[in-house]
Amino acid sequence: MSEPTLETLDSFAGAQLRLTVAHSSFEAPEYGAQTETIVGRLWAYEPSQQLVVLETENKSALPQMMQRAAAAAVYAPATLSTTAGAHTPKNGGSYTGFKIVHASSIKNIALVEKGDAQKLSRVVAVDPAARTAREAYAVRKSMEKAERTGADVSELGQAVFDALSKTLPCRWHGTHIIVLDEVVVSGPEYDSERTYVPGLERAQVEALNNGEDVAVPNVERASAKARVWQRVVKVLDGERARLLL
């Protein structure tokens, strides 16, 4: 069989090809490299759009939470070694990958191995439940990201929030960081000197942590808040030191 060309690609469906393609500047694996080699089985060629699709048999496993039946159904299983119609994912949750290459970027096409188009992964309908599950997951993650991003706060404030939230539950209240729903960290410096416990003066908090008698309502509860403040300040100082602030 002769070497494939763009004009004859349709007759090579399922064959393993080696494409030499020009790098896109934003995805070159090595700076200065002008081409890259992609190996995969020819899954499709669309002449009108000048797109070549290779099935690359990517072995990357899905994230654990995405391996549920509803969510995993939207991924095409790797079936290169099975017959059409058989859908047994390899490696307990690994799925096939695809590379889409524009024909204009292809410098050379070489035939590696003849193939059978019947063994390529087939397109399956997307389960509405799977689509809904992915949509809900994406919306939830987007909302979580929005909640972690302060409105009209400085880069310093966001950096402190991101650092604190790695170890302590945090949320924004305007430009203030609320930690453990007990301690407020305020700008513009967002350091330990700008922390306070609502309802308690700084001197009272420090006195409670020193075991001194303080005339406050519900001393036991106030002492618990003071201990939380002490913990937050310790973490805050450590994170600011790590950030070289």
Q: Would the pLDDT of 28 be above 90?
A: no
Number of residues that this document lists for the chain:
245
Give the separation between CA 8 and CA 15, rounded to whole angstroms. Answer: 12
Cβ neighbourhood burial of 223 (10 Å; 0-12, 13-18, 19+): middle
Give residue-wise pLDDT tens across range 63-81: 554 444 444 444 444 433 3
Pick the more confident residue, 240 or 119.
240
Domain range annotation of the chain = 6-137, 149-240
The mean pLDDT value for 142-148 works out to 90
DSSP, collapsed to helix, strand or coil, labels residue 182 as coil
Q: Which amino acid is at 129?
A: A
Give the separation between CA 178 and CA 164, rounded to whole angstroms. Answer: 10
The mean pLDDT value for 102-112 works out to 91
- Quick one: which H or E segment has residue 40? strand 35-46
CATH code 3.40.190.10 for 6-137: no
Q: What is the pTM of this model?
A: 0.49
DSSP, collapsed to helix, strand or coil, labels residue 176 as strand
Q: Would the pLDDT of 244 be above 80?
A: no
Q: Would the pLDDT of 43 be above 50?
A: yes
The mean pLDDT value for 128-147 works out to 92
Which residue carries 């609320």 as its tokens?
Answer: 178
The answer to whether 22 and 33 have CB atoms below 8 angstroms apart is no
Backbone angles phi, psi at 123, to 5 degrees: -75, 130
Pick the more confident residue, 206 or 243.
206
Predicted local distance difference test score (pLDDT) of residue 78: 40
